[in-house]
Amino acid sequence: MKSQHDWLKILIHCKQEVQERIDPYLKNLDEPQPDLGRGAGGDPMKPVDLASEKAIIEVLKRFGVSFRLISEESGVKEYGETPAQFYVTVDPIDGTNNLIRRVPFYATSIAISFKPLLSTVFAALVTDLFHDATYTALSCKGAYRNGEKITSSARNSLADAMVGLDLNSFKVEEIVPQLTDLIH
């Protein structure tokens, strides 16, 4: 299936709009950040999460994209005349707790696919919003960091690698048995 959209351009516009929208929140971190309940992914939701999600939606609509949104905040929503044409999976702010505590690790993640399957993702962006590092990938074109091509690591031993893991307390009881099975 072919797409008529310039996805790299759209994703970069999403990143820029997110950066603009979260700027007021970054300037007011001394003020309490209201809790807006739990998002569809089960994590606590803050106004900065919704501002980021809204920015992404508005950019996609401005570019005339019909899509089905799968968001950690709002769950599944449809936009445009043919929403099943594209699936846009987003974590508007990955690391909201870091952001509101001034821990310099938070990002926006966006994946575009033809179906709700990882194997059909053909365009993606992850942007480290604090360090201004943006990773993009297009199917059959490779992956890039700030426009420069990147390659996978030559490390082939887990002992030589660094592995990160989120042990979200909301899911610990589910995750620990799986990890135990993997480690043994």
Domain extent at residue 99: 7-183
3-state secondary structure of 90: strand
Would you say residue 15 lies in a domain?
yes
CATH value at residue 91: 3.30.540.10
Would you say residue 176 lies in a domain?
yes
Which runs of E-coded beta strand occur in 103-175? 107-113, 121-128, 133-138, 142-145, 148-150
Q: What is the pLDDT of residue 171?
A: 58
Q: What is the pLDDT of residue 166?
A: 64
Q: What is the pLDDT of residue 21?
A: 95
Q: What is the pLDDT of residue 19?
A: 95
Would you say residue 1 lies in a domain?
no
Cα dihedral sign, 6-9-13-14 = positive
Would you say residue 93 lies in a domain?
yes
Q: For residues 43 and 177, what is the distance between their CA atoms, to the nearest angstrom?
A: 21
Residue ranges in the chain modelled with pLDDT below 70 = 1-3, 165-176, 178-184
Residue 135 neighbours by CB distance under 10 Å: 16
Q: What is the pLDDT of residue 160?
A: 84
Place of tokens 């992956």: 143
Would you say residue 2 lies in a domain?
no
Q: For residues 68 and 114, what is the distance between their CA atoms, to the nearest angstrom?
A: 10
Q: Determine contact, residues 69/79, Cβ cutoff 8 Å.
A: yes
Provide the domain count of the chain.
1
* C-alpha torsion angle, residues 136, 141, 144, 146 (rounded to 10): -80
* C-alpha torsion angle, residues 144, 145, 149, 153 (rounded to 10): -100
Would you say residue 166 lies in a domain?
yes
